[in-house]
Amino acid sequence: MAIHELCSGTSQLSEPSGSLAVLAIRRERLAIVSTRNKLCGIAAYTQALERQLANIFDITVFDLDQYLLRSQHPRVRALGDRHIKDICRAIGSFDTVNLQLEFGTLGRAAKDIERRFRWLVAAAPRLSVTFHTLNRPPTFSPAAFAKAMITFNWRLAINIEAAFWRDNKLSSGIAKCLRRAQRQKPISVIVHNRRDLSDARHLHGFDRVFDHPLSFLSPVETESVLTHATRRRFTQIDALASDTKLIGVFGFLNNYKGFGTVVRALHHLSDDHHLLIFGGVHPNEIPSRASIHPYIASLFGEAHVDATLYDQIRGAAGSGLNLDIDRHLADLFGRHPRDLSGRIHFMGALDDGDFLAGMAICDVVVLPYLEVGQSSSGPISQAVELGCRVIASRTHNFLEFARYHPETVEFFDIGNHLELAERIAARRQYAARRERLHYTVETNKTIYLAANSVPEDAALFRQGRSRPVRQDVRVAR
């Protein structure tokens, strides 16, 4: 059965033929190599993937120990290598292997990541690699390097060269490893957007390429979340009126999330709009001996939290002027007129159930991310699956995602808080979804089944007489 026929719709799963008939009799053993670390979005996707594939594969997940793999200490790095080799010995007995690849989960140094990746590829009898980030080959800037050398800025010159070689290892080096492997055994690549699909095919030369957006929730799971999601579930907002308009942002507090844009937009919205921040500081970024995390402090600054009118007057006067006002008189001026402390609610770092419920109770889910080259995003996928009103910054990632789910995401330019405020205040651009999405957990299951099945020319593979025919596959609408 041709792969493009398999992917023409989910109905093919109910009437298997050819090699799929074997799966109906004996489920093949699938090893998923991924992190289980709850601090990583890859773990949440892997958990969802287990549920989706449970009835067609006998699944075992091999956890990538992040303590061992990300340590820079020589002794622990050696233990990280041993950890990967243990996984390699185990996966050799499986029918097929899927690697959920986010480069940082295999290590910090590029040479560690590339080495461990090669071991996993060599050990897998049949392999599919899910690229959560697909790096493009880097370009070296001779002009920038020469300028650094001429000005004796050795540190900058070293950093330019080091960054180039790191990016090269994680793009061209990884691709070269897979191209070699696909001559000897079935190798499939799964990406999450069509830009990466083109890069995988044209830049990297992969033969069997599949694309599908991240998918987490089945219709039954979606209904369960919506049924149990109420404002009463979150005690921090008990005092709010029932007609309060809730704006939600989601994820660990980090500069690239762009939450400050939403805070600035809040200044231009009526007082009945409140911002809920679902997330906290990432444990790996908890500052030592600091009274507050710098990013939280920056959000407080945007919201004028704990500021007074005196602070504004002194700031407007400039540091060059000496105002003859005692600081103790600041209280006479009262709170800053734009203090938003009563309209911003930090909901904390929550488990998956509360995270999804938080999306469901919000009138609008905002994803104000900066452009950082990401290929996919779990929160936007989950918000669309829940039928939320979604407003996202115009990043390549979100624009590519919207190609799979048209008329589900409203956009604003990165950092443009005025445009964001107008969009939030206006009626929603697209009506609430009534029809089922075209790309779902069922179509995602179809893709993973195809990517991890034996290609029709597998016999020629074993004889070493053929390479597979290139197949770029997406689910037909």
Give the model confidence (pLDDT) of 231-268 as tens digits.
999 999 999 999 999 999 998 888 899 999 999 999 99
- Say whether domain 219-305+340-425 belongs to CATH 3.60.110.10: no
Give the model's confidence band at 202: pLDDT under 50 very low, under 70 low, under 90 confident, else very high: very high
Cα-based angle 155, 168, 132 (whole degrees, multiple of 5): 115
Q: Kindly report the number of other CB atoms within 10 A of residue 331's CB atom.
A: 10
Mean pLDDT of all residues in 307-327: 52
- Amino acid occupying residue 330: A
Give the model's pLDDT for residue 386. Answer: 96
pTM as predicted? 0.84
Lowest-confidence pick of 19-23, 63-67, 163-167: 19-23
Kindly indicate the confidence band of residue 12, based on its pLDDT and cuts at 50, 70 and 90. Answer: very low
Q: Which strands sit side by side in the sheet containing 364-367, from one edge to the other?
A: 344-348, 273-278, 245-250, 364-367, 390-393, 409-412
Q: What is the mean pLDDT of residues 335-341?
A: 74
Q: Residues with Cβ < 8 Å from 93, sequence gap 6 or more?
A: 29
Return the CATH architecture of domain 3-215+440-473.
3-Layer(aba) Sandwich (3.40)
List the domain boundaries for the chain: 3-215+440-473, 219-305+340-425
Distances, alpha carbon 305 to alpha carbons 26, 237, 294, 337, 350, in Å: 61, 18, 14, 10, 24
Q: Which residues contact 254 (CB under 8 A, 6 or more apart)?
A: 282, 285, 295
What is the pLDDT at residue 469? 43
Q: How far apart are CA 259 and CA 148, in angstroms?
A: 35
Q: What pLDDT, on a 0 to 100 scale, did the predictor assign at position 144? A: 84
Q: Is 472 helix (H, G, I), strand (E, B) or coil?
A: strand
Query: What pLDDT does residue 337 have?
Result: 64
Q: With beta carbons less than 8 A apart as the criterion, state whether 351 and 43 touch.
A: no
Place of tokens 């290929």: 375
pLDDT in tens, 117-174: 999 999 999 999 999 999 988 888 888 888 888 888 888 888 888 888 888 888 899 9
Strands of 230-375, DSSP E: 245-250, 273-278, 344-348, 364-367
What ranges in 235-328 are assigned the alpha helix state H?
A: 259-266, 294-303, 309-317
Sequence letter at residue 184: Q
pLDDT reading at 314 higher than 60: no
CB distance 25 to 54 below 8 Å: no
